[in-house]
Amino acid sequence: MGAETIVLVAATCIGLYMAANIGANDLANAMGTSVGSGALTLRKAVLISIVANFLGAVLAGGHVTSTISKGMISPDLFVGSPAELMLGMFAALLAAGIWVHLATILGLPVSTTHSIVGAVVGFGLISVGFWAISWGKVITIAASWVVSPVAGALIAGAVYYFIRNRILRTARPEVMALRWSPLLVGAVVLVVILSFIFKGLKNLHLDLGFGQALVVAVPAAAIIGMAAKKWLRWLLGERKGKKRRSGDVVLQRLFAYLQVLTACYVAFAHGANDVANAIGPLAAIFSVIRTKSVAMHVEVPVWMLAVGGLTVGGGLFAFGSRVIETIGGKITEVTPVRGFCAEFGAATTILVCSRLGLPISTTHVLVGAVVGVGFMRGMGFLDMRLLRNIASSWVITLPFTMVLAMVFFKILAVMFL
């Protein structure tokens, strides 16, 4: 076996290790409230997320990615030393994978994007120096520690407040649910369609303006919203000759379906946007080995995105239960209604903040959304010790992966350069 083959095998193993950890932690966030509320079993959540994540990676994944993750370091700094870039990517993938794995074992939801960015900054510091790093982007990441959870908490908490006061606490909640169902279902459909157009399907080059997107999304949301009202009326047995069902059971079923819909969107968007965290650096290593040079941008083969998407789903199946338990029940008790509010609040926050250009992390938004729903019930319904641990893990992510990548890069450089 030649040296290049050994390097390729090692790079593939490390890249897939990172991909599996992304599934175990990041993708587990998307499905956590659905499993915690009982809307989905763990087996169904894994199956749905594997399919949605795979489709997101293949249909809308990053087919062209920067050689240096997220533009933290300029690739031309490594034009004269492609081997240094290759070892740096090795070190970054391994450091980020170990940190996400450790956080998953502890049941802590962390940002895998911040993990790989921190690791790239670490090897960049030791290889090309302090001033080669895009520190403005590092500051942007730090800002997202506040922006993401606060935005998610505000929107999810507002949605829960509305549903609780307009539906759940009324004398006839099933009648009020029927009244508000076109608005609720229509809002979910509107957010999901707009999210796909502006974020999830950005690489399909639809090139729709905001007005054009609304022309597509609003009629679809209105039609599906009215159809949902008819379906809900049928479930409630309001038509002559139909057997009446329990209003509470019907309500829980309605919100469970809506929650699963938003969870599918988050899993799809995850495949489209986050699989590159593992596959991007792997593609850069393959490019260096194949061309013996540093490319400004690397084409990511579809087969690599497909393998990455499936591995992320497999990681959720193998190791995701701890983070699912944290999101789905340990922060606060999650029911289908609360889970829907958290998922819808997170999807809406991701859409709005993306359009406004605000720095956000999907993981942080989801955690913030769950906290926002729990806060509306009262501080006593939140596990504050767990929340302190989660916040600490977010702050630790960058320095931990930076230092670990520096150590790994130094060891590899001594061995191979």
Closest C-alpha to 387, from 114, 157, 102, 108? 108
Residues 156-171 have a mean pLDDT of: 91
- From CA 53, how far away is CA 362, in angstroms rounded? 15
Token pair for residue 187?
């809002």
Q: Is the pLDDT of residue 22 over 50?
A: yes
Q: Is the pLDDT of residue 371 over 90?
A: yes
**Contact of 417 with 84, CB cutoff 8 Å:** yes
- From CA 105, how far away is CA 154, in angstroms rounded? 29
Q: Reduced to 3 states, what is the DSSP secondary structure of residue 208?
A: coil
CA 295-299-300 angle, to 5 degrees, is: 125
CA distances from 232 to 38, 224, 225, 252 (A): 20, 12, 11, 11
Band of pLDDT at residue 154, cut at 50, 70 and 90:
very high
pLDDT digits 0-9 by tens, 191-211: 888 877 765 555 566 667 777
Considering 122-136, 197-211, 364-378, the range whose residues carry the highest mean pLDDT is 364-378
The pTM of this model reads: 0.85
Q: Is the pLDDT of residue 126 over 50?
A: yes
**Contact of 101 with 18, CB cutoff 8 Å:** no
Round the average pLDDT of the chain to a whole number and report it. Answer: 82
pLDDT of residue 192: 81
**Contact of 275 with 31, CB cutoff 8 Å:** no
User: DSSP class of residue 332?
Assistant: S
Q: Is the pLDDT of residue 64 over 50?
A: no
Band of pLDDT at residue 67, cut at 50, 70 and 90:
very low
Q: Which residue has the higher pLDDT, 271 or 116?
A: 116
Residues 220-244 have a mean pLDDT of: 76
pLDDT of residue 379: 87
pLDDT digits 0-9 by tens, 266-308: 777 777 667 767 777 777 777 777 777 776 666 777 777 788 8
Residues 212-240 have a mean pLDDT of: 82
Can you count the helices (H) and strands (E) in the chain? 15, 2
Residues 302-316 have a mean pLDDT of: 81
Residues 55-76 have a mean pLDDT of: 64
**Contact of 156 with 373, CB cutoff 8 Å:** yes
Q: Which residue has the higher pLDDT, 324 or 240?
A: 324
